[in-house]
Structure 1
Amino acid sequence: MRTQVVIIGGGPSGLLLGQLLHRVGVEAVVLERKTRDYVLSRIRAGVLEQGMASLLKEAGVDARMRAEGLAHDGTLIAYEDAMFRVDFAKHTGQPVIVYGQTEVTRDLYDARAAAGAQTLFNVEDVVIDGADTDAVSVRFVVEGTEHQIECDFVAGCDGFHGVSRKTIPEDVRREYEKVYPFGWLGILSETPPVNHELIYANSPRGFALCSMRHANLSRYYVQCSMADTVSNWSDAQFWTELKRRLPAEVAEALITGPSIEKSIAPLRSFVTEPMRWGRLFLCGDAAHIVPPTGAKGLNTAASDVHYLYQGLKAWYADKDADGLDRYSERALARVWKAERFSWWFSSLMHRFPDQSDFDLRMQRAELDFLRSNDAAQKAMAENYVGLAY
């Protein structure tokens, strides 16, 4: 079997790349280790930058996002029972769009099926051969039968634990990592959001976030120890703790209800360099991870897709290799800016176990400065809405 591009990973970044390539006549096969239903069952964030929204439009899959997504012109920052707003519209002229990652993935799967593009599920034992040569291929097993696809290029969109990054020799890649000493306990509830915009809260008891998926589905988080477990938290305990971390006016307005999903997510920053080895290109979590503070994970994957799509399009249209040759350089330049913003925002909003009194006063001073300084708010708004590709 032969195709032009093999995309390993049927999550949103792999599907988006596949759909963009299909629109310009480049053939791609997507390999996914789970089923479609399993992929769509995963609960993920849903704050989309304008760059991501534009890519979905270019891929022809933005109709439902435009109809059902919630445009947010700002966000709220709470600390010490006070709250202020960072106005995205004022500082950037653009909103972010709240639209669940699951829904983005569903739209992309539907578009891929409608196009008749090939997606293989339950793919196991993936091996990338010859990535540093002109004869690259991918071997894998489906239902006990081994298959091989010869191709021009491989896009590794298979996440942190996938095979793509590990295919790059250890003496070629360099990895950078910061592991945070806490996680986020999150619940999903069929309740109206406490506010029409997101609320990020810094409290003496730890961080909290009030978010949403739509008008009757809310997502809430509290900072917790990584030694904690979901079984330690009843719904009642979660709601009580969340209220303790919010300003009184917000806590009083909070509508609670049974959780329909509850989980603990670790926080870390991770980057591998380079993001290209021969004819293998890494995208998204295969190359980098950010803390969820500021919702940069999916959006940074989208910027990778943009650079790789542009490079592949130029190659197949004109044999212009510049975009592919500079893919890693261009993608990493933006990745590190997203890492910086996520690190800064996480450091600002969380309580760390080793913080001294001086550290706490510096955190408070930074919050006071952000609250009172227009230039600081503009910088935050530009990063939150998304830096240009």
Structure 2
Amino acid sequence: RSQYPEQRERDGDFDMRGLLHRDGSVLLHVTRDELRSPAALYTALGCKTAVGFPFKDIATVDSIVLDAPPTADDADARLTLRRLQTAGVGVLAPAAALGAAPIDGAVAIYDLAAIGAAGGALPALPAGALRAAVRVDGSEDDELLLSLARLDAAMIILDVATPLSRVHASRRVFEMLARSKCAAPVILAGTFETPSAEELTIAVGMQLGSLLVDGLGDGVLVSAPRAARTAELRPLSFALLQGSRMRNTKTEFVSCPSCGRTLFDLQTVTAEIAARTGHLPGVAIAVMGCIVNGPGEMADADFGYVGGAPGKIDLYVGKDVVKRAIPMEQACEELVQLIKDNGRWVEKEPAEAEAVAVAA
């Protein structure tokens, strides 16, 4: 089991325990230009805000990665960065960049190959930095990978180099980590050159999700210059963690594949239910087209919406049917009421409700 960062006496006001989340972490790259537009950045990172200050929410990015930290005279960007740190968002940057532009409370990123070439020990941290992260690209030899267990790293960033196979090279790295009993959390990183959001979703699921579902990896750091911005990468990353059965940040929906027995338009009804109930993290809702296989396929759901007869819906709590033959035009509202009656309902926050309305 991975050992997550703990607070140390020299950390002072910086809470380093928030760098990663024990159920799965989301890290994102942030540019200096984004730091100069704080309101937009806070929203993109999933922060709540009050009087201009950011606060962590259930689906806020855990840490950000700066390839080029703001210089000391970039006061606006530095202020944004400090406010994010105060909110509990971690800040990572390459050690060399931090040497030129120090950031208090930062995590310095070192390449494992450079550590090996310099004798195998972590260099002294740059001024202001409190932890080290080690970047691995999968091309390292076994001996160098085994040495990771001796390094005091807050995390390992596994970013497989081209043209290696991301899946196969990653599995080899995890094999070496297991052999050396290295317990540092591993963040699966990747830059995807897919041209569209749809292709990005498929590529990320295949290459990173296939590792996460096997218990390999503690979080993700996804970059997609051509297909998605920060605001789009965040929900994709959290959806990947939830789909890998790691970190729940929204309602879980279970649906049958649809067949000739399906008694309603499964996609339309599921979208309608998701629009009403998609803001309930920790709640699982099954939408099943018929009663033949539906109750068995939804065994792990908290609530079920099942076609019982043409135009009629049965509602379930767990495996038990509690309402039968509800007219379909009333069924979604009845489902919402059932969730309320069982104490699992929370109202949408204003910003969230507005976002849903805009999306619709």
Q: TM-score, normalised by structure 1?
A: 0.27
Structure (1/2) with the larger strand percentage: 1
Flag the structure with larger Rg.
Answer: 2
Q: TM-score, normalised by structure 2?
A: 0.28
Higher relative contact order (CA 8 A, sep 6+): 1
